[in-house]
């Protein structure tokens, strides 16, 4: 079972480095689907997201995909939002609504972002990179608060919210949104994890096994962003949201195994595509050198 968790951490780590998410966005529903209580799943996912975000930031530094001012604002505001969100989650658990409200919240968010990424009319005009996107205090504060609140509420890094918002609201290219998001994700998930660690019992061995796999996976995912176009990254992220949405709906309908199967099918399919494209890219690079 230990090997399974390391492999799971590696696979999700690839998606973390590629999409700029902490990984909890995928890990939380998987842990819930295999029988771990929602609050424990959230705390473990936040612990895992610390590892993936650190590894991802290190990788994206090499590719110059991080805009530090934006990342700092998103992170600081996001940390403040985690402190507001935690009492809300504890209140839901006391009322016995956490098993229903948290999945429904997931579904609504996933549906919105899937539609915004897959059907949003993106501007294709060729403009200078410096004028294609610009920092905005109100937008950065809104995105940071939203990411931080949702991070603690759902046990995710917040990147799955911030990446599409950076793309749609601040016109960030996908690669810049991914790298910048991971910096703020680190700050947010660290604050969220410390809050949970002091209030609930966590399986630290499980978290460490997942992180061991992630340390390799995030490096591979970040490397993949240099192969794919911004449009492709955006399309695959939208498809990922639809996949997780479907799995959570199946969970609510008591089809836990079917939900886990849907996620597994998407993950395996995209990992195969990644491998195929990497091999093709390497051959192309070798033939031109």
Which of the residues in the chain have pLDDT under 70? 25, 98, 120-132, 155-157, 289
Determine the pLDDT at residue 237.
86
Determine the pLDDT at residue 195.
81
Mark 194-211 as b/e (b = at least 16 C-beta within 10 Å).
ebbeeeeebeeebbebbb
CA distance 217 to 226: 15
Q: 3-class secondary structure for the chain?
A: CHHHHHHHHHHHHHHHHHHCCCCHHHHHHHHHHCCCCHHHHHHHHHHHHHHHHHHHHHHHHHCCCCCHHHHHHHHHHHHHHHHHHHHHHHHHHHHCCHHHHHHHHHHHHHHHHHHHHHHCCCCCCCCCHHHHCCCCHHHHHHHHHHHHHHHHHHCCCCHHHHHHHHHHHCCCCHHHHHHHHHHHHHHHHHHHHHHHHCCCCCCHHHHHHHHHHHHHHHHHHHHHCCCCCHHHHHHHHHHHHHHHHHHHHHHHCCCHHHHHHHHHHHHHHHHHHHHHHHHHHHHHHHHHC
Name the residue range of residue 205's domain.
2-121+130-284
CA distance 63 to 128: 19
Any domain includes 289: no
User: Six-digit token pair at 141?
Assistant: 């504060």
Residues shown for the chain: 289
Any domain includes 11: yes
CA distance 83 to 59: 29
Please give the tally of structural domains in the chain: 1
Give 181-204 pLDDT, tens digit per residue.
999 989 988 888 888 888 888 889
Of the candidates 23, 67, 33, which has an alpha carbon nearest to the alpha carbon of residue 216?
A: 23
CB 9 within 8 A of CB 155: no
Q: What is the pTM of this model?
A: 0.77
CA distance 198 to 175: 35
User: Six-digit token pair at 238?
Assistant: 């939208």
Place of tokens 């016109």: 171
């Amino acid at each position: 079972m230990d090997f399974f968790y390391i492999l799971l951490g590696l696979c999700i780590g690839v998606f973390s480095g590629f999409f700029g998410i902490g990984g909890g966005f995928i890990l939380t529903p998987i842990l819930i689907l295999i029988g771990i209580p929602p609050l424990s799943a959230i705390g473990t996912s936040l612990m895992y997201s610390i590892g993936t975000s650190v590894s991802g930031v290190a990788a994206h530094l090499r590719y110059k995909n991080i805009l530090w001012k934006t990342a700092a604002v998103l992170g600081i505001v996001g940390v403040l939002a985690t402190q507001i969100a935690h009492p809300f989650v504890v209140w839901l658990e006391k009322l016995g609504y956490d098993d229903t409200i948290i999945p429904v919240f997931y579904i609504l968010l996933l549906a919105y972002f899937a539609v915004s990424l897959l059907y949003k009319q993106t501007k294709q005009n060729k403009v200078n990179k410096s004028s294609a996107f610009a920092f905005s205090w109100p937008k950065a504060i809104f995105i940071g608060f939203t990411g931080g609140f949702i991070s603690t509420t759902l046990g995710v890094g917040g990147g799955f919210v911030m990446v599409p918002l950076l793309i749609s609201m601040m016109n960030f290219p996908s690669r810049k949104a991914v790298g910048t998001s991971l910096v703020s994700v680190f700050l947010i998930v660290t604050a969220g994890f410390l809050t949970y660690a002091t209030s609930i019992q966590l399986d630290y061995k499980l978290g460490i096994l997942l992180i061991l796999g992630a340390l390799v996976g995030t490096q591979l995912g970040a490397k993949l962003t240099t192969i794919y176009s911004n449009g492709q990254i955006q399309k695959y992220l939208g498809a990922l949201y639809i996949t997780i949405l479907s799995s959570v709906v199946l969970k609510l309908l008591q089809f836990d195994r079917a939900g886990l199967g849907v996620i597994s099918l998407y993950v395996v399919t995209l990992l195969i595509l990644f491998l195929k494209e990497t091999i093709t890219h390497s051959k192309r690079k070798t033939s031109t050198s």
